[in-house]
Structure 1
Amino acid sequence: MPGPLIHADADAFFASVALRRHPELLERPVVVAGGPVVACAAYPARAHGVRAGMSLLEARRACPGLVVLPLPGDEVEAVSDALLRLFAELVPAVEPGSMEEAFLDTSALSWSAAERLGHELRARVRRELGLPVTVGLGRTKLMAKTASRAAKPDGLRAITPDEETALRHHAPLGELWGVGERTRARLELAGVTTLGQLDRLDPPTLHRLCGTTMARRLRAMADGTDDAVVRPVRARRTLSAEAATSGWGRPDRTLAELVDVVVERVCHRAAEAGLAAATVTVLLRSGGEVRSGGEVGSGGEARTVRRGRLPRPGADPAEVRAVVSELLADHPEPPEILSVTLGDLVPADRPQQDALF
Structure 2
Amino acid sequence: MSRGPLLHADADAFFASVVLRGRPQLAGLPVAVVAHVIIASANYPARARGVRSGVHTQEALRQCPELILVDVPQGEVEEAGEALLDLFRECARAVEPGSMEEAFLDVGARSTEEAVAAGREVRRRAAAELEIPVSVGVGRTKLMAKLASRAAKPDGLHVIGPDREAELRAGLPLRDVWGVGARTVERLESLGITGLDGLDAIPYETLRRLCGTAMARRLRAIREGSDDAVVRPVERRSTLSSEGSIQGYARPDWTPAELVEMCVERVCRRAERAGLLASGLTLTARPSSLESPVCVLRGGRPTATASPQVWSGVALSLLAGAEVPPLAGLRVTLTALVQADRVQDTLF
The TM-score, its normalising length taken from structure 2, stands at 0.86
Query: Contact 2:37–2:248 (CA<8 Å) still a contact in 1?
Result: no
In 2, Cα distance between equivalents of 1:237 and 1:211:
30
Partner of 1:203: 204
Partner of 1:178: 179
Partner of 1:316: 306
Query: Contact 2:32–2:69 (CA<8 Å) still a contact in 1?
Result: yes
Shift of 1:170: 1.2
Query: Contact 1:263–1:317 (CA<8 Å) still a contact in 2?
Result: no
Provide the secondary structure at the position in 2 that maps to 1:32: strand
Provide the aligned length of Structure 1 versus Structure 2: 341
Q: 1:39 to 1:289 in 2, by over 3 A?
A: closer
Q: Deviations over 1:125-151 (max 9, x none)?
A: 112222211111112211111100011
Question: Runs of 5+ in structure 2 lacking a partner?
Answer: none
Partner of 1:299: none
In 2, Cα distance between equivalents of 1:150 and 1:38:
23
The TM-score, its normalising length taken from structure 1, stands at 0.84
Percent identical: 54
Query: Contact 1:271–1:315 (CA<8 Å) still a contact in 2?
Result: no
Shift of 1:156: 0.3
In 2, Cα distance between equivalents of 1:269 and 1:227:
32
Mapping of residues 93-242 of structure 1, within 5 Å: 93-234=94-235, 238-242=239-243
Q: 1:5 to 1:274 in 2, by over 3 A?
A: farther
In 2, Cα distance between equivalents of 1:269 and 1:219:
42
Mapping of residues 39-78 of structure 1, within 5 Å: 39-78=40-79
In 1, Cα distance between equivalents of 2:64 and 2:53:
14
Partner of 1:355: none
Partner of 1:339: 331
Partner of 2:298: 307
Shift of 1:155: 0.6
In 2, Cα distance between equivalents of 1:75 and 1:245:
17
Query: Contact 1:2–1:110 (CA<8 Å) still a contact in 2?
Result: no
Q: 1:161 to 1:341 in 2, by over 3 A?
A: farther
Q: 2:321 aligns with which of 325, 330, 349?
A: 330
Shift of 1:191: 1.6
Counterpart amino acid of residue 282 in structure 1:
L
Shift of 1:171: 1.2
Q: 1:306 to 1:72 in 2, by over 3 A?
A: same
**Superposed CA RMSD:** 2.9
Shift of 1:59: 1.4
Shift of 1:166: 2.5
Counterpart amino acid of residue 12 in structure 1:
A
Provide the secondary structure at the position in 1 that maps to 2:244: strand
Partner of 1:255: 256
Question: Runs of 5+ in structure 1 lacking a partner?
Answer: 296-302, 353-357
In 1, Cα distance between equivalents of 2:30 and 2:273:
37
Counterpart amino acid of residue 16 in structure 1:
S
Q: Which deviates more from structure 2 when the two are superposed, residues 83-92 or residues 19-28?
A: 19-28
